[in-house]
Structure 1
Amino acid sequence: MSLFPIDLQSQNLLPCDGEVYYFEFLTWDKQQVFLKDLEQEVTWEHDRVVMFGKEIITPRREAWYGDQPFGYTYSKTTRYALPWTTTLLNLKKQVETTTDHS
């Protein structure tokens, strides 16, 4: 059962600014399990940015994960990707299988 009233798999959701297609490949129950697991095992952190010379802690929490511990710098702050958690890796594999892309 789709959460959306129309078939979004065949409709480009960004016809003027790019291409986005919705693929529902997890049941509602599986989505809830993933969400619960991700809330518990992902290292969520508030971001720090420098604006007009002043450090500001953002209200949104973020997490950086990847295949390699690559660094990403912005606003004079460098973050390094953490290794995939078991849940993130399982979700990543399901997305890659569904989309046939890595």
Structure 2
Amino acid sequence: MATTPALMNTTLSSTNTTRSREQILYQSAGAIVAAIVVGVIIIFSLVLVALKMYNRRTRTERELMMKSTKAATTNPSTRCNNSLMTQPTSLTSVPPDIHVENR
């Protein structure tokens, strides 16, 4: 009978040890997943900041280019021609089933 309690104590301690190892594995797996999630968030935020800076830089370059080309091509004759060319032409079409009376 003296050997039986000794066996029970060793089996209980071995199951406690395996449980703690399992808990350690679960905790470390959770820490790894959390580190991966934080890393992905940091990478996405860096890409977002880089894209915003690139967009701002290209937009300012484009605006400066448009201003320089407009300043170089501002002649009074071209201004009139451009205004005439940009005016929309309107065409009125009458469907064939509607009869228009002449007055």
Give the structure with the higher percent helix.
2
Which has the bigger relative contact order, CA under 8 A and spacing at least 6? 1
User: Larger Cα Rg: Structure 1 or Structure 2?
Assistant: 2
Instruction: Give the TM-score normalised by structure 1.
Output: 0.18
Instruction: Give the TM-score normalised by structure 2.
Output: 0.18
